[in-house]
């Protein structure tokens, strides 16, 4: 995720969770620093590193790699703690994401 974020965007919130059976990394990027070009850079940063897109409709773009699920919001949401709009990104790894990614490739 750090390499992806080097493409730009202002991170306004971070949340990381690491447990024995699950991992979760989330970043919220200010909507003021967001644009279609930034989304394209983020998506390309993942696909160039072997992530496979599994969902590109609705409110998010999703990709998998080795059972890990990456989700990038395509619609902004309101972040009440800061009173601003943001785009959310998260990487998740747990039994559910392993199953979801496995079923996406079948």
Of 73, 92, 69, 94, nearest to 28 (Cα)? 73
- How much is the pLDDT for 72? 96
Per-residue pLDDT of the chain (106 residues; tens, 9 = 90+): 888 888 899 999 999 999 888 999 999 999 999 998 999 999 999 999 999 999 877 899 999 999 999 999 999 999 998 899 999 999 999 999 999 998 877 6
DSSP-derived secondary structure for the chain:
-HHHHTT---EEEEEEEE-SS-EEEEEEEEGGG--HHHHHHHHHHHHTTT-EEEE-STTEEEEEETTEEEEEESS-EEETTTTEEEEEEEEEESHHHHHHHHHHT-
The pLDDT of residue 106: 61
């Amino acid at each position: 995720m750090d390499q992806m974020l080097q493409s730009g965007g202002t991170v306004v919130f971070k949340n990381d969770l690491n447990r024995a059976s699950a991992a979760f990394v989330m970043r919220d990027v200010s909507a003021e620093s967001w644009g279609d070009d930034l989304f394209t850079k983020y998506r390309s940063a993942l696909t160039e590193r072997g992530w496979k897109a599994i969902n590109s409709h609705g409110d998010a773009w999703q990709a998998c790699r080795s059972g890990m699920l990456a989700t990038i919001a395509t619609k902004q949401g309101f972040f009440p703690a800061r009173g601003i709009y943001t785009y959310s990104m998260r990487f998740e790894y747990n039994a559910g994401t392993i199953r979801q990614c496995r079923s996406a490739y079948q």
